Amino acid sequence: MKIAVCVKQVPDMESKFTVVDNSRVDESQIAFKMNDFDEFAVEAALQIKEKLGGEVIIVSVGPERIVKDIRQAFAMGADWGIQVQDPQVDEGDSFVVASAINKAIEKIGGADLILTGVMSNDNQSALTGIMVADMMKLPHCTNVVKLEIGGDQKSLTINRELEGGLNEVVEMPLPAVLSIQSGINQPRYPTLPGIMKAKKKRLDVVKAGDIGLSEVGKAASKTELVKMFIPVSEHKAEIIQGDPKQAAAALVNKLKNEVKVI
Amino acid sequence: MGKILVIAEHRNGKLSEGTLELCKVAKEIASATGNTPAAAVFAKDDSIAKELAQYIPEVLSAVDAKFEYYTADAYSQAIRAVVEGNDVKGVVIAHSYDGVDFAGKTAMAIGAGIVSGVNKFEAKDGKVIFTRNIFNGKLQEQRSAKTDKFVVTVEKGAWDKEPSGSAGAVNSVAVSVGEVRTKVKEVIETTKGAVDISQAKVIIAGGRGTKDADKYKATVIALAQKLNGEYGASRAVVDAGWTDHARQIGQSGKTVSPDLYIGVGISGAIQHVAGMKSAKCIVAVNKDPEAPIFNIATYGIVGDLFEVVPAMLEELNK
């Protein structure tokens, strides 16, 4: 089975963020990593490959720095990848990124199954994968927490997570696009031989023009950013000062004697 | 005048509470942009449409056996038909599991720009500008659609529920739904028979910051036991297998409202906060002073939980 996994690189969310020009994050102080949800998608793809054979191809959109995390997916066991490295694409919104992924998957000759994470930690839209499915005219399912491929390899049975501890069991045909929820598996750590092999694996780096994507950037976007900013909360917690012992004692005292909840 | 159209959300014949929040949003956007609020209900009969008419002046009701279960294919086709047959300026959808599943496809079907997870809006120069959380709530952005129509998904709890009023009109609309490629087999409860922490008066919840199963036990579980409370967890802790899914607090887990909630090593992602923000007293212990949880907490300690929690246990032992 030919499986494409969409992988995005995101900042470590514990970073201190500074906004530049009301429109972007100052990247100089930030460490980047693979989007959490995408690690589960890569692992899900590798488990299917181990069971049924085939190949796992990483599809990624973004600047040069992303190569580190594509190689991490290679080290986990993915076979090869394609990266759309084009600043014009990066300026676009979810629709433009979805268009680039659609064309990149077309470039690799399509896939039997396309996996994404549920959402990215930075943009939090949870839209891109669904748009890719629509562009490819494929069915999709989001928030997948269990996944079984039918014996004929032409269908899927899926548990889709719902609110309040419910799961919906869904059947659908292949090819399909699935967004993988965290917790579906335990993503493996790359092994040392895996890391060595990853360095030599094939990564096709393409620009929008190479994959037949003519309209990119802000012009092709369907939404526009007005501004990005650090929110000012109307409420702030009363921060209890002091070293851990003092703070803990003061907190326990408040909870016992002021709020009277313990 | 065009319509700002709510897509009603329902399951097992029951309208979701979030839909009433969407009615409020649609009413406010309609009023700010000179449009009218309306809702569309896709169901196997018109009982939900009649119920929803108490909250919004016009309900468009499409009845079809294919709407017995929610599917993205049926919903996006139906919304497209309603948008083509009516002057719809904006489509308002819940940022829920179902809502997010069909919103992107709907935007594609009607060629509209989509902004997801919005919690505020302002109308300016004929445009509706939406505010949404990004970067795990540490940043926000304002974004608007460039297209003549917009689609938004609305963060749960960002607006109050619209109160019921005089009954609005229920107008039936014909939509023909073609191929539906996903088939719903059943809905199952994953935490049946497991512990129920939703009624506990004191809950100590641990997050990713607790590091591993042993440390989660030594801090979160120990503190919960000391305070005769229950222990809970954020998604990351359950994903990692340090505790059971039944103890997960948030959108996909339990909703709790204890007298005291102590979040330990929890950043306060919106999905978690959705499940505990109504707690009476919220305490946060986190080493990151900018963690969003401090924006909803009553008391906070900025520090290393592996120093703070043992100090609390020691204090409680005195």
Half-sphere exposure of B140 (CA within 13 A, CB side): 17
User: In this structure, are A87 and A38 located in the same domain?
Assistant: yes
Section A36-47 average pLDDT? 98
* B307 contacts in chain A (CB < 8 Å): 244
The beta-carbon neighbor of B299 closest among A11, A166, A238 is A238
How far apart, in whole angstroms, are the C-alpha atoms of residue A49 and residue A147? 13
B177 located within any domain: no
pLDDT number for residue B82 = 98
User: In this structure, are A248 and A165 located in the same domain?
Assistant: no
User: In this structure, are A243 and A139 located in the same domain?
Assistant: no
User: In this structure, are B116 and B210 located in the same domain?
Assistant: no
Check which CATH number belongs to the domain holding A37 and give it. 3.40.50.620
Residue A221 contacts B where some CB pair is shorter than 8 Å: yes
How far apart, in whole angstroms, are the C-alpha atoms of residue A227 and residue B205? 34
A150 located within any domain: yes
Both tokens assigned to B81: 């038909």
A233 located within any domain: no
Section B224-247 average pLDDT? 97
Residue A55: strand, helix, or coil: strand
Q: Kindly report the number of other CB atoms within 10 A of residue A68's CB atom.
A: 12
* Residue B212 confidence class, pLDDT cut points 50, 70, 90: very high
User: In this structure, are B19 and B158 located in the same domain?
Assistant: yes
User: In this structure, are A161 and A209 located in the same domain?
Assistant: yes
* A222 contacts in chain B (CB < 8 Å): 107, 112-114, 145-147
User: In this structure, are A46 and A95 located in the same domain?
Assistant: yes
- Closest C-alpha among B124, B93, B86 to residue B107: B93
What does residue B29 show for φ and ψ, rounded to 5 degrees? -65, -45
For an interface test with A, the pick among B100, B245, B271, B273 (most A C-beta atoms closer than 10 Å) comes out as B100
How many domains does chain A contain in total? 2
pLDDT number for residue A237 = 96
A115 located within any domain: yes
The beta-carbon neighbor of A173 closest among B181, B252, B309 is B181
How far apart, in whole angstroms, are the C-alpha atoms of residue A226 and residue B123? 13
- Per cent of chain B over pLDDT 70 is 100
Check which CATH number belongs to the domain holding B20 and give it. 3.40.50.620
Domain of A255 in residue numbering reads as 238-262
Residue A45: strand, helix, or coil: helix
B292 located within any domain: yes
Residue B249 contacts A where some CB pair is shorter than 8 Å: no
User: In this structure, are A23 and A75 located in the same domain?
Assistant: yes
User: In this structure, are A156 and A244 located in the same domain?
Assistant: no
Section B270-291 average pLDDT? 96
User: In this structure, are B95 and B208 located in the same domain?
Assistant: no
* Residue B215 confidence class, pLDDT cut points 50, 70, 90: very high
A230 located within any domain: no
* B146 contacts in chain A (CB < 8 Å): 221-224
A32 located within any domain: yes
For an interface test with B, the pick among A230, A239, A254, A257 (most B C-beta atoms closer than 10 Å) comes out as A239
Residue B108 contacts A where some CB pair is shorter than 8 Å: yes
The beta-carbon neighbor of B183 closest among A25, A170, A240 is A170
Section B88-113 average pLDDT? 98
Both tokens assigned to B57: 């002046």
**Closest chain B residue by Cα to residue A162:** B97
User: In this structure, are B131 and B210 located in the same domain?
Assistant: no
Residue A20 contacts B where some CB pair is shorter than 8 Å: no
How far apart, in whole angstroms, are the C-alpha atoms of residue B118 and residue B94? 10
Domain boundary among B152, B172, B192: B172
Handedness of CA B228, B206, A123, B100 (dihedral sign): negative
Averaged pLDDT of chain A = 97
Q: How many residues comprise chain A? A: 262
**Complex confidence, ipTM:** 0.95
Check which CATH number belongs to the domain holding B256 and give it. 3.40.50.1220
CB A47 within 8 A of CB A144: no
Q: What is the DSSP letter of A136?
A: T
Give tens-digit pLDDT for A95-122: 999 999 999 999 999 999 999 999 999 9
Section A29-51 average pLDDT? 97
User: In this structure, are A131 and A255 located in the same domain?
Assistant: no
Given a cut of 90, whether residue A233 has pLDDT beyond it is: no
- Closest C-alpha among B113, B189, B191, B183 to residue B153: B113
A154 located within any domain: yes
How far apart, in whole angstroms, are the C-alpha atoms of residue B140 and residue B129? 13
Q: How far is B137 from chain A (nearest CA, A)?
A: 8
pLDDT number for residue B191 = 87
User: In this structure, are A142 and A256 located in the same domain?
Assistant: no
SS (H, E, C) chain B: CCEEEEECCEECCEECHHHHHHHHHHHHHHHHHCCEEEEEEEECCCHHHHHHCCCCCEEEEEECHHHCCCCHHHHHHHHHHHHHHCCEEEEEEECCHHHHHHHHHHHHHHCCEEEEEEEEEEEECCEEEEEEEEHHHCEEEEEEECCCCEEEEECCCCCCCCCCCCCCEEEECCCCCCCCCCEEEEEEECCCCCCCCCCCCEEEEECHHHCCHHHHHHHHHHHHHHCCCEEEECHHHHHCCCCCHHHEECCCCECCCCCEEEEECCCCCHHHHCCCCCCCEEEEEECCCCCHHHHCCCEEEECCHHHHHHHHHHHHHC
Residue A219 contacts B where some CB pair is shorter than 8 Å: no
B212 located within any domain: yes
A209 Cβ contact partners less than 8 Å away, ≥ 6 residues apart: none
User: In this structure, are A133 and A163 located in the same domain?
Assistant: yes
How many domains does chain B contain in total? 2
User: In this structure, are A20 and A48 located in the same domain?
Assistant: yes
Domain boundary among B157, B172, B187: B172
CB pair distance less than 8 Å for A139 and B182: yes
User: In this structure, are A81 and A182 located in the same domain?
Assistant: yes
A159 located within any domain: yes
A16 located within any domain: yes
* Residue A166 confidence class, pLDDT cut points 50, 70, 90: very high
pLDDT number for residue A234 = 85
Residue A236 contacts B where some CB pair is shorter than 8 Å: yes
How far apart, in whole angstroms, are the C-alpha atoms of residue A139 and residue A34? 26
Residue A133 contacts B where some CB pair is shorter than 8 Å: yes
pLDDT number for residue B126 = 86
Angle at A41 between CA A14 and CA A112, to 5 degrees: 150
Section B2-28 average pLDDT? 97
Chain A residues 25-84 within an 8 A CB cutoff of chain B: 25
Section B137-163 average pLDDT? 97
* Residue B192 confidence class, pLDDT cut points 50, 70, 90: confident
How far apart, in whole angstroms, are the C-alpha atoms of residue A219 and residue A201? 35
Domain of B87 in residue numbering reads as 3-172
* Residue A148 confidence class, pLDDT cut points 50, 70, 90: very high
Residue B213 contacts A where some CB pair is shorter than 8 Å: no
How far apart, in whole angstroms, are the C-alpha atoms of residue B8 and residue B52? 8
CB pair distance less than 8 Å for A170 and B308: no
How far apart, in whole angstroms, are the C-alpha atoms of residue B249 and residue B28? 31
**Closest chain B residue by Cα to residue A141:** B101
